[in-house]
Homo-oligomer: A and B are copies of this chain.
Amino acid sequence: MPMKAVALNASLKPAGQSQKSSTRRMIELVLAGFEEHGVEGEIVHLSGLDIKPGVTSDEGDGDAWPDIRRKILTADILLLGTPIWLGQPSSICKRVLERMDAFLGETDDEGRMVSYGRVAAVAIVGNEDGAHHVSAELYQALNDVGFSLAPNAVAYWVGEAMNATDFIELEPVPDKVTNTVSMLVRNTLHLARLLRDNAYPGEK
């Protein structure tokens, strides 16, 4: 069975404008790297989906979360992509983290969350500044809800302080970004394979 990666794009742009999303571009670079290793990738564009506020796994009628949750749990790798606003992750990114809070209570009879065994990585873009903080917030939240992290689990780009260039306008992709993406792919995939074959032990 091939490995699977699901990428969540937490851009604020509506789905119809996703081709203009800098976040999408970074996600596509990472997924292209995974595909070279035979990993099947899928992108879910979150903006426009009705992911209801709440901290359970199903907030009822019309809630878009149960479908997204299923995709996350079917995949081996979760790539969470977000733009930076005011130096922080987007509100849409926060919404999906909030919904994953429910994993804390969804444990098997050996105390392991339903998310265990999956590896997370993050893709972050902004006009300027904020990537390290956003990765810190995402690492902590994702680790709290059961994900493992390989070293250098972030692919990011931001411009010089107070500048307004979008990542999607940059041609070509800077070498440093390409190298970082490649490192993320190697490490995250290595860890995902190890964990697929070797589940975390439960409470005895």
Binding site for B on A (CB under 8 A): 12, 47, 53-55, 85-92, 94-95, 97-98, 101, 111, 113, 115-116, 128-133, 135-137, 139-141, 143-154, 156-163, 174, 176-177, 179-180, 182-183, 186-187, 190-191, 194-195, 198, 200-203
The listed residue (B98, B136, B149) touching A148 by CB distance below 8 A is B149
Q: A130-B132, A151-B113, A176-B161 are in contact. Are A137 and B95 (CB under 8 A)?
A: no
Distance (whole angstroms) from the CB of A65 to the closest CB of chain B: 12
Q: Are B87 and A200 closer than 8 Å at their CB atoms? A: no
Which residues of B are found within 8 Å of A147, using beta-carbon distances? 151
20 A-B pairs with CB atoms under 8 Å apart are A12-B54, A53-B92, A87-B133, A87-B141, A91-B91, A129-B132, A130-B132, A133-B136, A135-B140, A135-B143, A136-B140, A139-B139, A144-B152, A148-B148, A149-B149, A156-B161, A161-B176, A163-B176, A187-B200, A190-B198
Which of A92, A98, A141, A179 has the most CB atoms of chain B within a 10 A radius of its CB?
Answer: A98
Q: Residue of B at shortest CB range from A95?
A: B91
- A86 nearest CB neighbor, chain B only: B141
Q: How far is the CA of A162 from the CA of B111 in the complex (A)?
A: 16
Number of copies: 4
Given A133-B130, A151-B113, are A12 and B85 neighbors across the interface (CB < 8 Å)? Answer: no
A159 adjacent to B162 (CB under 8 Å): no
- Distance in angstroms between the alpha carbons of A12 and B182 in the assembled complex: 32
Q: How far is the CA of A41 from the CA of B139 in the complex (A)?
A: 26
Known: A111-B179, A136-B136. 13 other contacts (CB 8 A): A86-B101, A90-B94, A91-B98, A129-B132, A132-B140, A133-B140, A135-B143, A140-B140, A143-B149, A144-B152, A157-B161, A159-B160, A162-B180
